[in-house]
Structure 1
């Protein structure tokens, strides 16, 4: 979610100052009067919020005392998040000491270990945590409050795994109806530049990674269809959704290091990978966005296949350094994660690329195929549920998947022609395979992702490597 680790540190420090100043000027002495053990649970979050009032030692001391004497296992995540946002070393040490005392864990200030420990046991938080999370994050962005307040019965994911990603709502600004230019005018693009290519109703578009990494989403009409292309830079995923009736944006939050979207009408949070609301009033309404294929390839290869393509203009309305490889340079350079996940699966490196194949309307079965494997096996046939498919991987490493209905392919030229077992030649188009007799085989929607993020989102995924 951040363009660099340095930016994350700067933003966090700014938020620390903001939270502290809000409490100092507007929340002095808000600790509830301690009566007996029958404390109103809806007001318990006030004690945890008072832990961040580092300008008033009496207030924080009373809060620590109350939490210590009335401890419940459900308080673990609130104390941990209070510690995470604590500013001063002296105060942080007090909160850490209390957390270690109550949990019998000694992870120090290694927040990754704390969160992993918490996420690998049954969730224990209560409804009060929704109130706490709403009030805590409203000091970062007032719009955040509505994501969580009074939504304990409107959630299908663990709230303690929802983490702030370091930006405000739409703080990474989506490109809404962005300016597109003909390929002949895209002089800023090198032939080897990575682009995300789509084609909807014959309308071919290329979205260069070097631009989209700064915006993480585009919202537009492509082929007269309303769509949103969502780029989760942290998990290496670009997915294209049809978005009729829903205006989506960047929430500022993550779930298992995967970007969460929001819709403007209800402020519900949406899963990027599943295209459905996961927290908020739209949960349980049967809403699931249809997703379309995206191919990750080079600009030269996409332009050769689609000479009439349009491509993003540098004139986005924002001032950014859109040179190749600038955004997320530090993050992409290592296998380290910016935000941890519950478990690391070492069968592949964290940021090894996989091709994700799903049919969410037909089956819960889920397949991830290593891109390295597919580059060595440029024709790969498999089956998901009852659907037979073939993956063709071209010379740039781009994958295209088709529903092949039992047909066997024996040769692929690495570009646009495949040959089946009886010698028929087929042309690879973006949305279908077509032979000389006009027979069509439909494209199966797919997308690339980093292994760690996809496995975290779908723990039961089948890996082929």
Structure 2
């Protein structure tokens, strides 16, 4: 989700939309910040002088928008921001965004809303459904408007797959054995969704095993989360798409009924009509694993066809190749790297009123971990080479595996592993617990001190 500054400048150009009537047109702050992109040289210089004399850093969020897309004016804008804040980040938009995240006490001047809205609607007027003025009041949003970033695509520029065509495993000859897939099994309905396809779409809306679900895959934060989309009290399941916006390097998805923006990582609406609804989507288990492994254990699985209705290069290792291979992030976000690198993988569980993460590296040479979350005992089985982790409740049992992968409890009883439960010889079942893989930075940034991390 990226685009060059040059290509954005061409979008703004002469065809930019007219100023909205969201703020008094004679307000000098509004006119000054707007001059960064839409004013002549004289107006721009006068505006920057005025902001320096005014001396309040509350205009920095708006200036950041102007600097990101400001063509040849970024150096002058940066000097004003440095004067107002006393910090030196030059024209480094990335570092300025991190500074902004570190300083939530700075409340943006009200002119940020009409200015940033004008800029974003100049990219895609379809963004208007997300950016209605009444939705952008600070006390009605669950996230900071100044931290919402354009990801480089228009609304639905990353198209969701809605009830896509599926084929049998035998017909999926386009897949290589080591291709990774999202494996889902609900009520005996087994599906595989290759990451090499989902990376281009980042969302599917399906009914699996009679349950309406959506897989929200944020490529930037490495997380694919399976949400149940039927919510109590609503007549129809939600259907989701990708908005084109990011928040702290995480995609903001939207529902097609109300056009509310949702946090992909938490399954909660954050901007729009549903922001104060209290809705939190229920998670269902999903696993990432190799295609050959999934196919062997689920011979009746169905898998995505290449006939998605879109022309993309669905080859192995194509989508986001450079990003996945790099230790760097594409968009700015604060992250504590004192113990883990920002793109280390963790397995994340948010259940039972608690949140806990297990580093994928913890499963090296230790395929079973007996642990707990929120007072609930868990057993986790992981394989770092396949990026796979599954979690189950374990009751009072302590589990281990033999060298050939057989799961045994403390008494030596053999348990059967299924996608929905652990099954004892007497038929007793311990249910699967929903979780997902994620880059460390997303877990750390969204949950921080509210979550715990397995330390071995």
TM-score by length of 1: 0.90
Structure 1 equivalent of residue 293 of structure 2:
301
- Deviation, 1:160, is 2.0
| CA distance, structure 1, for counterparts of residue 225 and residue 317 of structure 2 | 21
Structure 2 equivalent of residue 129 of structure 1:
112
| CA distance, structure 1, for counterparts of residue 210 and residue 82 of structure 2 | 57
Report whether the alignment pairs 1:434 with 2:434: no
The 5 Å alignment of 1:29-428 reads 39=27, 44-53=29-38, 56-88=40-72, 91-123=73-105, 124-148=107-131, 149-151=133-135, 152=137, 153-244=139-230, 245-359=237-351, 362-363=352-353, 365-394=354-383, 396-412=386-402, 415=405, 417-428=406-417
Report whether the alignment pairs 1:444 with 2:433: yes
| CA distance, structure 1, for counterparts of residue 103 and residue 404 of structure 2 | 47
Deviation readout 1:222-277 (Å, 9 max, x if unpaired):
11221110111011000001112322110111111111111122221101111010
Question: Which has the higher mean CA deviation after the structures are superposed, 182-191 or 76-85?
Answer: 76-85
- Deviation, 1:126, is 4.3
- Deviation, 1:158, is 2.0
Deviation readout 1:436-455 (Å, 9 max, x if unpaired):
21100000101000111221
Structure 1 equivalent of residue 233 of structure 2:
none
Deviation readout 1:256-310 (Å, 9 max, x if unpaired):
1111111122221101111010112201212111111111100000001100000
| CA distance, structure 1, for counterparts of residue 402 and residue 289 of structure 2 | 17
SS of 1:68's partner is: helix
Unaligned regions of 5+ residues in structure 1, if any? 3-7
- Deviation, 1:414, is 6.0
Contact 1:303-1:309 within 8 A present in 2 as well: yes
Report whether the alignment pairs 1:15 with 2:4: no
SS of 2:140's partner is: coil
Contact 1:48-1:63 within 8 A present in 2 as well: yes
Question: Which has the higher mean CA deviation after the structures are superposed, 96-105 or 349-358?
Answer: 96-105
- Runs of 4+ with >6 A deviation: none
- Deviation, 1:463, is 2.1
Deviation readout 1:347-378 (Å, 9 max, x if unpaired):
1122111110221xx31x32111111113221
- Deviation, 1:344, is 3.7
| CA distance, structure 2, for counterparts of residue 22 and residue 347 of structure 1 | 48
How many pairs does the alignment contain?
442
The 3 A distance-change label for structure 1 pair 280 and 71 is farther
| CA distance, structure 2, for counterparts of residue 61 and residue 109 of structure 1 | 18
- Deviation, 1:411, is 2.4
SS of 2:65's partner is: helix
The 3 A distance-change label for structure 1 pair 18 and 462 is same
- Deviation, 1:412, is 4.6
